[in-house]
Structure 1
């Protein structure tokens, strides 16, 4: 749609980057609000969110590079300026951020692990929803060809240059599907929180519903950079593979923490 919002002299302000910044601040604000309900210090939530953001940026780009290399992309293309400016693979970011979350809280940050996880994940879902609007603006993570009335046609050459987005072809606006899915995840988590049966339940629920949503929305993804054909199955893309892994993680945490009710 609009990869570059406007230019100040020779400096372009990318719509994707701006929306990612908004996503971080909005997600952190929601996490701090949820944390206050359990007596968590807002400053500690902010510090943790910044560390997880850095991990998410690195992890998303690493997974993108790994998938591109597995797909046989030339090294020059994998490490090109356009590729490095791309957002990356979101689930790689979530995996890295989750690892940092467990690591920092196990080190002792003055935050109880499971309650903090419950507070963070609605904000993560909100950040993902806003970030997908950035994907839509940049043209990355595009969908398959569609002749539905709501199909989107990209025309900006920058979208093709940075993401390989097909121009002049109506596509499923799968980025908006993902935004809707992430908003639904956030709503489910917020509605479930007052009925939380054990600490960590909302954290585990996030991985269950996020994984399920990604498995479904992958149906309309058209970009080959996400990787397909894992384990010999053509339908098993990177998004579906990590989505299934997320569901398994969520289920495992749910069962484990449910058996440890009353502990922190």
Structure 2
């Protein structure tokens, strides 16, 4: 049987006894773990130390959540501060409403603080976590599916999204699943950054800039498809203008950075010895020390053998000399005896 549409969940929260598990928050949490996991693998590959990505994420993630919520509340203030609305709802982040622009901007401030505390260059950290952030967005967008939000124009395509909720003026029906389009686009962005980073050895923030530019390119046309309420400027949604502006900034940074600082950082984390980043440094160092000790022992043994051979040779030479002297003495006595006769 052919699927006529993508069904939406009847509710966005499940209860384990008295504990609510909200689908939106659950997707955000999974996305954060994926971003930290992939970022850690990339950081190790670049010569960093295990655990650094997670330590800095302790600063970046809370700042990012606050920034994302602030951007949403400011740009959609009428949802919380207009007549008949409760401003307390602005703090209910689990009900949805995170602006990626604010999340990245304020999250970068948190990452900068964490990087300064460890003496790490922020661009190097950003390059390591860039594809992980894209995957986190891809996972987080499924939180919008749980909340039945971020959909596009009406459609009867086989992959249309069914909306059953009438909250906030929603009209039940089937629509373009823009949340799904953005999720798939973010996966493509993550793969693009990983490929380009390996192919061109991107450094000094260029991998992160590529992620930003690629995401903005997709966000522009996906945002254009959405039908939820938004502020418009010259016929375009506010987020369209934001995507265009940020895209231009990312491209400019890519070009200027490539000219000024080509290649990749040789050292991303001060104080990390060769091989320590991938967990092999201590083992290699111990192995090298053992080899040196073995070599020293062999040299001592060879020296002792050489000295022994030398003493043996000297003793043999002395013995030969004494034998020769004895032999000469015997010959001399025989000669004297023959002459007397």
Q: TM-score range by the shorter chain?
A: 0.7 to 0.9
Name the residue aligned to 1:212. Answer: 217
Name the residue aligned to 1:21. Answer: 29
Name the residue aligned to 1:87. Answer: 97
Picking from 111, 118, 127, the partner of 1:109 is: 118
Post-superposition Cα deviations, 1:20-61, rounded to whole Å, max 9, x if no partner, equal: 111110111011111111012231110212221111111111
Name the residue aligned to 1:252. Answer: 252
> SS of the residue aligned with 1:149?
coil
Contact 2:96 2:144 in 1 (8 A): no
Unaligned 5+ runs, structure 2: 1-7, 266-341
Change (3 A) 1:79 1:29: same
Q: Which stretch of structure 1 is more off in the superposition, 237-246 or 215-224?
A: 237-246
Distance 1:127 1:154 in 2: 24
Task: Calculate the TM-score normalised by the size of structure 2.
Answer: 0.68
Name the residue aligned to 2:176. Answer: 172
Contact 1:4 1:12 in 2 (8 A): no
Distance 2:24 2:211 in 1: 24
Count of residues in Structure 1 that have an aligned counterpart in Structure 2: 253
Change (3 A) 1:262 1:148: closer
Does residue 1:201 correspond to 2:206, yes or no?
yes
RMSD of Structure 2 on Structure 1 (CA) = 2.4
Q: Which stretch of structure 1 is more off in the superposition, 179-188 or 241-250?
A: 241-250
Contact 1:151 1:170 in 2 (8 A): yes
Name the residue aligned to 2:76. Answer: 68
Runs of 4+ that moved beyond 6 A: none
Q: Which stretch of structure 1 is more off in the superposition, 198-207 or 119-128?
A: 198-207
Name the residue aligned to 2:231. Answer: 228
Structure number with greater Rg is 2
Contact 1:207 1:249 in 2 (8 A): no
> SS of the residue aligned with 1:13?
strand
